[in-house]
């Protein structure tokens, strides 16, 4: 039987080998086994995890925290397609008005920046999930493509979306690549990042949004895996099995720089349209007056 886990002996973002473990726990014993039993409602058995350990490594070279042992292909497929079963209709319905407004904001600001007819803008959503972001891009008239590691989700793509294989993305074909809650899951983020950077046309933009791990180092001194997501003590940013890469703002900027991409912000003039809706103006004020050191960032390929 093939091992359930693969071991990463170097930093998956920068390749550094001087990382030091901050935490080393068994997957098949409390507190990790308790967390997994609750999170997956008993669909992940400790017997599936006894050949790996939950080891969190701190890379001093780039600032990434990463899990040393990551699910191999078989376990990875089980975790994403079977351990959390969901109907495609339920997946699409789960994104409500707030999320869809955010998608509209993201697509509109992208289109205003490029200043071209939407039909001329090619977008790729890598890790498209149930395709909600792409449906919004389609509604604005963009040429929409998606890539998805989960076969269940890829097969549920909306009509008109060109589904491309994650490993077969064409070079210099896209003006904008969206990755929403993707890079924290990837066992080989540098390989995927290089592929997506190559997929951008000169001047194209890669959007990366990942959980913010700014407080994780401190929290690991007394980890509480029962802390609910969104609370001060939550360790969601380094969630066992799934969030195998934990980025801070600086680590994410460093990672993108290794891909040849530059941190960018949309120009302030985009937000000064006198007919702009109030919610757009409020967001503009927040993000131009006080640039938050978050982990939802835009990176541009040099023209």
pLDDT at position 148: 92
What's the pLDDT tens digit per position in 115-164?
Answer: 999 999 999 999 999 899 999 999 999 999 999 988 888 888 888 899 99
Instruction: Calculate the average pLDDT of the chain.
Output: 90
pTM: 0.90
pLDDT at position 292: 57
- C-alpha 37/C-alpha 143 separation (Å) is 41
In this predicted structure, the answer to whether residue 282 has a pLDDT above a threshold of 80 is no
> Which among 113, 119, 116, 136 has a CA at the least distance from the CA of 284?
113
- C-alpha 89/C-alpha 283 separation (Å) is 30
Q: Of the spans 35-49, 77-91, 289-303, which averages the highest pLDDT?
A: 35-49
Asked which of 92-96, 108-112, 168-172, 227-231 is least confident by mean pLDDT, the reply is 92-96
pLDDT at position 259: 98
What's the pLDDT tens digit per position in 174-186?
Answer: 999 999 999 999 9
Q: Strand 200-209 and strand 174-180: pairing?
A: parallel
Q: Which domains does the chain have, with CATH numbers?
A: 1-85+211-260 (no CATH), 93-209+261-300 (3.40.50.150)
In this predicted structure, the answer to whether residue 16 has a pLDDT above a threshold of 60 is yes
Q: 153 vs 210, which has greater pLDDT?
A: 210
pLDDT at position 284: 56
How far is it between the farthest Cα atoms of the chain? 64
Query: Residue 221's pLDDT band (boundaries 50, 70, 90)?
Result: very high
Percent of the chain with pLDDT over 70: 88
> Which among 171, 168, 194 has a CA at the least distance from the CA of 183?
194
In this predicted structure, the answer to whether residue 249 has a pLDDT above a threshold of 70 is yes
- C-alpha 33/C-alpha 8 separation (Å) is 21
pLDDT at position 15: 97
- Hey, what's the torsion of the CAs at 56, 58, 64, 70, to 10 degrees? -30
Query: Residue 81's pLDDT band (boundaries 50, 70, 90)?
Result: confident
pLDDT at position 166: 92
Q: 202 vs 281, which has greater pLDDT?
A: 202
pLDDT at position 2: 65
């Amino acid at each position: 039987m093939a091992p359930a886990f693969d071991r990463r002996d170097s930093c998956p973002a920068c390749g550094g080998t001087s990382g030091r473990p901050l935490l080393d726990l068994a997957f098949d014993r409390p507190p990790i086994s308790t967390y997994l039993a609750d999170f997956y409602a008993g669909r992940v058995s400790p017997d599936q995890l006894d050949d790996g350990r939950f080891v969190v490594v701190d890379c001093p070279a780039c600032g990434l925290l990463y899990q040393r042992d990551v699910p191999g292909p078989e376990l990875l497929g089980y975790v994403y397609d079977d351990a959390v079963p969901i109907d495609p209709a339920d997946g699409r319905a789960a994104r409500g008005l707030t999320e869809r407004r955010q998608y509209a904001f993201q697509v509109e600001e992208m289109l205003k920046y490029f200043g071209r007819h939407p039909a001329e803008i090619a977008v790729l959503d890598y890790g498209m999930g149930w395709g909600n972001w792409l449906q919004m891009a389609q509604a604005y008239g963009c040429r929409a493509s998606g890539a998805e590691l989960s076969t269940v989700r890829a097969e549920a793509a909306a009509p008109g979306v060109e589904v491309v294989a994650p490993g077969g993305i064409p070079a210099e074909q896209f003006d904008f690549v969206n990755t929403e809650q993707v890079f924290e899951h990837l066992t080989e983020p540098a390989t995927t990042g290089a592929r997506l950077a190559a997929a951008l046309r000169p001047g194209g933009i890669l959007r990366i949004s990942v959980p913010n791990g700014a407080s994780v180092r401190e929290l690991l001194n007394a980890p509480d895996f029962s802390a609910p997501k969104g609370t001060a003590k939550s360790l969601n940013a380094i969630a066992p099995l799934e969030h195998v890469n934990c980025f801070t703002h600086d680590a994410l900027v460093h990672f993108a720089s290794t891909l040849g991409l530059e941190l960018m912000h949309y120009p302030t003039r985009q937000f000064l349209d006198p007919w702009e809706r109030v919610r757009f103006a409020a967001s503009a004020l927040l993000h131009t007056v006080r640039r938050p050191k978050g982990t939802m960032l835009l990176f541009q390929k040099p023209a």
